Structure 1
Amino acid sequence: MSAVDVPVPVTIHRVTNLDLWVGDHVWPFADKRREEIDAHFAQRQAEQPKLWNGRVLLGRQPRFDGVYFSAEYFETDFASFMAWRDWGFPDVSVFNGFGMGVIRASDGAIVLGVMGPHTANAGKVYFAGGTPDPSDVRNRRLEIASSVAREVKEETGLSRLDYHAADHWHCVEAGSLVAMLRVLDVDQPGDALKARIETFLAREAHPELSGVHLVRSKADFLPTMPRFVTAYLTMLLHGDD
């Protein structure tokens, strides 16, 4: 069992405002363990050659205050992020805070994707989304809504014109992650929407997803779904959105 699979308590917060800014923090973990990190990433790249050591954003100092969620973010390299994650989150002062779009069809089916074999989370079943990067920053503010729209488009082909985004977010805390989830309602039934996304994936040279999975009840849960995903789906299926 990997560190990301260890069961942890899950807390879900309903918020309407995300106050996320990007500072100049230099991550001591990345500096002090540089040689180990580089060796670890080289090994991961040998296993998955398409992994790329780009720039990503991690958070610190998270705070929930009523309908507000605030945090400071900083830039680091993907290799350091992966090492921190794979080694069981040794630096508890930082967290992985990312946005995801919860695509919901007109008949209530929730659309999830199976991550492709070339990705860092191969085989896992998630909502569309991912770790934010510098392209999601505007005037030192991290725009999670833009990050979600970008990830949804890249993974499923759906643009902002294809769905209605909820006015609020659910922040799901689970150990060293905070998933900022937003329901995206599409005016199309589940099976048709699944086929539409599969058609998009078939046209892509290197799709991020290897498949599409619909959830209509707990019977559709899979062992490859992280706990924060099943916890949120359980709440959503009960009508608490």
Structure 2
Amino acid sequence: MSEGRPYGFEVVRLDRVEARLVAYDWAWARDNAERVAQNWQRRLASRPGLFDGPVLLSCACAIADAACTVEFFETTYSRFIAYRDGGSPDGRVANAFAAVVPWTADGAVLLGEMGRHTANAGQIYFPCGTPDRDDVRGSGVDLAGSAGREFLEETGLRLPDDAQGEWALLRGEGQLAFLRPVRFPEEARTLIDRIERHCRHEAAPELAGMVAVRDASQIDDGRMPGFVRAYLASAFGAGDGAEAADVTP
């Protein structure tokens, strides 16, 4: 980990995030249509249930005075997944998404293990998803609403009424992860039991299980994406500069 950039990610605490939908001509996707089609067929061969619906990606992001303005444009999931699988070669376009980071009353961070039928099977991260049309409000994109919706769908939990509005932005590897740390009044075991009951009633639950992390020694380099490892390193004070962003609720 480099100084101030755990696992190669910049960690920025934000008081405000403004997101808007814009028109954008994505040259990479247009020029690589055949690669996109081939990649999608490869993906479908292993996971036939994948759906090529509309998603939103970012084409611009600016930060000033603890406030962030991010611009989104609409594309298809097949284009996004080909772009991501290819290492995100267009430096301007980023996979931007929002997620709730649930902190428990006894000091744990809860993460979900993705189910075998999902595109990221076996990985461990915060319940989240790429924004889509359901998150568009006029010309704006509701990142807080997107994070809360995904969290509710995957865990069955609603956010506490006193949840704060601060964010932690993790920027790196072609990603803009807008994380919203939220403190829950229950302890980890109670929340995990509630989430597991919710998943048992789902026909095809996104989550295969839950993981409670209480210190940096529990960071899983093999199954946790970089933005998750970077957040946990910052939150639990692992490595140079890890505490600078104050990413706990």
TM-score by length of 1: 0.92
Tell me the distance in 1 between the aligned counterparts of 2:164 and 2:120: 27
User: Is residue 185 of structure 1 aligned with residue 183 of structure 2?
Assistant: yes
Deviation at 1:88, TM superposition (A): 0.9
Q: Partner letter of residue 178 of structure 2? A: M
Q: Deviations over 1:96-121 (max 9, x none)?
A: 11101001111111110001111111
**1:4 counterpart residue number:** none
Q: Deviations over 1:179-207 (max 9, x none)?
A: 00011221111111111111111111010
Cα distance change on mapping 1:176 and 1:228 into 2, 3 Å: same
* Unaligned 5+ runs, structure 1: 1-6
Q: Partner letter of residue 189 of structure 2? A: D
Q: Partner letter of residue 67 of structure 1? A: A
Task: Classify the secondary structure of the residue corresponding to 1:94.
Answer: coil
Map 1:202-213 to 2 at 5 A: 202-213=200-211
2:7–2:229 contact (8 Å) kept in structure 1? no
**1:32 counterpart residue number:** 31
1:20–1:141 contact (8 Å) kept in structure 2? yes
Cα distance change on mapping 1:163 and 1:232 into 2, 3 Å: farther
TM-score by length of 2: 0.90
Tell me the distance in 2 between the aligned counterparts of 1:218 and 1:15: 23
**1:166 counterpart residue number:** 164
1:8–1:175 contact (8 Å) kept in structure 2? no
Q: Deviations over 1:61-85 (max 9, x none)?
A: 2111121111211000000000000
Deviation at 1:164, TM superposition (A): 4.0
Deviation at 1:95, TM superposition (A): 0.7
1:102–1:127 contact (8 Å) kept in structure 2? yes
Q: Partner letter of residue 194 of structure 1? A: I
Map 1:85-234 to 2 at 5 A: 85-160=84-159, 162=160, 164-222=162-220, 223-234=222-233
Tell me the distance in 2 between the aligned counterparts of 1:171 and 1:119: 25
Range moving further from structure 2, 27-36 or 7-16 = 7-16
Amino-acid identity (%):
36
- How many residue pairs align between the two structures? 234
Tell me the distance in 1 between the aligned counterparts of 2:29 and 2:12: 30
1:163–1:187 contact (8 Å) kept in structure 2? no
Task: Classify the secondary structure of the residue corresponding to 1:165.
Answer: coil
* Unaligned 5+ runs, structure 2: 1-5, 238-242
Tell me the distance in 2 between the aligned counterparts of 1:163 and 1:128: 19
Range moving further from structure 2, 26-35 or 104-113 = 26-35
**1:45 counterpart residue number:** 44
Task: Classify the secondary structure of the residue corresponding to 2:178.
Answer: strand
Deviation at 1:8, TM superposition (A): 6.2
Q: Deviations over 1:182-239 (max 9, x none)?
A: 1122111111111111111111101011110000112322220112111111222247
